[in-house]
Structure 1
């Protein structure tokens, strides 16, 4: 059974081309992908993640609010007793913010320009425990 992943666009950011590319790439790599669309509240992302029983939440953020939105997502998943769901974040992320995102609980960070095969490989690693042999 393929791993289920959620690709989400939190906050007011309306640009979704990158998120759609990631969703399609993961789907083509064999993942079952749930895509939320744009302008999602953190609470709704967590609810969808729980309802869809995903192993990973991928946040696509271009608005500059990546630290706050990632922190809030990780905290909301933990509060929902779903801290085992990995959170990754991608988008317009300055290199200096990568360590801060990892400290906030992100399992991986993919700044703009990260090769797609690197994203797939890392998501495979992070979801390996959730797939059936």
Structure 2
């Protein structure tokens, strides 16, 4: 395969939104994505929803992984989704969420456009395969 026809790596933003200071899981998934050949950008802690949207748009990511353990997922994740829609980036971005999310809330997040929610103990291979299978096609 020539350089011109080579597929580009899947670009991921691993994001910590809100006041959630627990970032071990975000670091673990970022490393697993990197080891799987993905290009990974990590947002750092305590980012506002708009910061996450700006980073996702500027970095032209294929996947936005939001790690949230604060319990504010029903407030913050919809704000991120709204922002992506405003920038026209929602349709081209696979949104996944990791954290402790109650089943009822998981269903609501999926209705808003989250592709999948991964809870504690999800095997890394499962998350990586989900991303590879569901990442939007790019021109």
Q: TM-score under structure 1 normalisation?
A: 0.92
| Max Rg structure | 2
Query: How far apart are 1:111 and its partner, in Å?
Result: 1.4
SS at match of 2:135: helix
**Alpha-carbon distance between aligned partners in 2 of 1:21 and 1:9, rounded to the nearest angstrom:** 13
SS at match of 1:129: coil
- For residue 38 of structure 1, the aligned residue among 32, 36, 45 is 45
Query: How far apart are 1:66 and its partner, in Å?
Result: 1.2
Contact 2:62 2:136 in 1 (8 A): no
**Alpha-carbon distance between aligned partners in 1 of 2:133 and 2:66, rounded to the nearest angstrom:** 17
Higher mean C-alpha deviation, range 54-63 or range 93-102: 93-102
- Which structure carries more helix by proportion? 1
Contact 1:93 1:112 in 2 (8 A): no
Write out aligned runs for 1:1-133 (5 A).
1-84=8-91, 85-127=93-135, 129-130=137-138
Q: How well do the aligned residues superpose, as a CA RMSD in angstroms? A: 1.4
Q: TM-score under structure 2 normalisation?
A: 0.89
SS at match of 1:88: strand
Tell me the number of residue pairs that the alignment of Structure 1 and Structure 2 aligns.
131
Contact 1:67 1:104 in 2 (8 A): no
**Alpha-carbon distance between aligned partners in 2 of 1:19 and 1:2, rounded to the nearest angstrom:** 20
